[in-house]
Chains A and B, each alone.
Chain A
Amino acid sequence: MRKFIASCLGCLLVATPAFAGREPVPPMALTEHDRVVAGGRAVLVELPQYEIGTDVDVGRVVSDSSQYGGGFLGALILDASDDKRERLTSMEMDKATARVAPLRQAIRDFDFNALAVASTRSALSHLDWFGAQNPEWIKSPSDNDRRALISGAGTKQLATISYHYLLSPDFTQIRVVADVTLWQPAAARAGGPQPALTAIYGHRITAITELRKRSYEPAENVALWSADGGKLARASITAALARLEQLIPFALGLNQADVDALARKKADKKADKIFAAGFYGPPVTAFPSIAGEKVIWSQGLIEVMPTP
């Protein structure tokens, strides 16, 4: 009970400033009214990575306050100084960086950026109503970069597609993540500062390729991805981007009722759900899947397929 009260009080103390500064999560569907924008949309492809990324998962970490006691005040003190999770995460990240080195070396000449831009162009070309302008790309844009692009393009909205590509914590999957966001500037005041951009749509879409034969040893999985000049990794990333070309327009075409229905199924214990590549959610049957592929909903579209 003491821990419960301590946790509640701790949450209140921490949550107040945190919520105050948090930006609202943009909706995952566009209303009919917002779909067509006169003048179309400027498109910016954000490609912040220079090499394939890694991910770590340390799982649960026992908290000091749950084991050493000390009452309400003790729990507050121990929780404040408990950095086990951070230290374990840092150790895991160091190990992951060492393990991925052969793959990074094998695909150092792989032009992810060019493929991502081409995929974006192709994806948005499927949507006549979107009015996509020719995409530009940038490593890591600031808000000023985004504002400059939208004013330079003379459009009312900006679409950003931010790509990340990384290995799963056990190195059995390559995940290509596309964060699609639509931005709209607030009304400008004469002589005032440049208007802030507001996100009016946001959707994370993930395409995953999984090794057909997986090992419990990360180094063995990395060896499979890296073999023959990283042939499997290159083919998998290319295949994932090709699927994103279909998934991005599909996601942009979902309306709020579709999204709500999928979110309800995800939350409903009795609804049918499937497991794929570490994710669990209802199957997205409306998406035209290819053989061997699974598409599920888990806070966004997740597509899983075996390596080509």
Chain B
Amino acid sequence: MKLLPSFMVLSTAALAGLSSASIAAQDTPAAQAAAPAAAAVAPAPAPAPQAAVAATPTPAPACELHIFPTLEGQAMTTGWLSGFGIVGAVVEASANKDRNVSEAEYLKEALGPRLQIAALKSLDVVAALKLPPSQVIFETPIADRNITTKADTRLSSSTADCYAELIVTQNFYTKRAIYGRSLNNRFIFKDFRGGKAKAKLVKGRGGNGLSHFPPKTTDETEAAELDLRTAFAANFTEFAKGTAPAK
């Protein structure tokens, strides 16, 4: 019950986030296929060059943003009986036992690291985090939460002076009797710019409603997965808006 206010806020934010999301058109299967391997580097869009210098190759930005997706996938469905004491709790847990397992498993596949990256590539992540033009480098996920949520040093071997990290730490699908279906994500942003060896962990979350996930039939699979990626991107945008302006 303590979660009610935050869910009301999230639901409102979800509506706002969905209406402004235009990423769906860019998130094509081709874009997914082109999602780079972890070690690959995807340069962020450079500022529009002037005609005179258009022919010369643009040097890669000196700044780096390393993004760590998550392997996690959690799911929980609660019905009207939740909150009705021990009997309600046991009935709810029993009724949703299989569903919670299968949906968590499905979420891990449908919003796995590759698809998180595809969703983030549909946005200007660098601008959203208020960073200067930066190379975006996609890293392999880190399973140990003691590292992702506590380590204040760099999680890559890069020694760049202008360096930042974005870590996805939660993928959580919920279905609640009153608020319906939603995807919640947690993120951590670490800004090492200025050659810092340690950075403050800026933690935050985003939550947006889902309308097609999980799919009821195989015909709805594509729409459901697009729905997930759209919500994920909106969650990131929500998180990024809440981060303090870069120094």
Residues of A within 8 A of B (CB): 57, 59-62, 64-65, 67-71, 73-74, 77-78, 81-82, 84, 87-88, 91, 169-170, 172, 212-217, 220, 269, 272-275, 278-280
Contact = CB atoms under 8 A, between A and B. Distances in A.
Interface in B120-177: 140-147, 151-156, 170, 172
Given A68-B89, A68-B93, A172-B140, 4 more contacts: A59-B70, A61-B104, A64-B89, A275-B142
A73 B156 CA distance: 46
Given A61-B104, A67-B78, A217-B114, A170 B89 contact: no
Contacts of A73: 86
Q: For chain B, which range describes its interface: under 10, 10 to 19, 20 to 34, or 35 or more residues?
A: 35 or more
Nearest to A57: B143
A1 to B, nearest CB: 12
Interface in B1-44: 35, 37-40
B82 A68 contact: yes
Contacts of A87: 101
A166 B36 CA distance: 25
A263 to B, nearest CB: 15
- What 8 pairs between A and B have smallest CB-CB spacing? A70-B89, A68-B89, A59-B72, A216-B114, A216-B113, A214-B38, A74-B86, A70-B86
Interface of B: 35, 37-40, 69-76, 78, 82-83, 85-86, 88-90, 92-93, 97, 100-101, 104-105, 112-114, 117, 140-147, 151-156, 170, 172, 197
Contacts of A172: 38, 140
A71 B85 contact: yes
B93 A84 contact: no
Contacts of A57: 71, 143
A215 B73 CA distance: 19
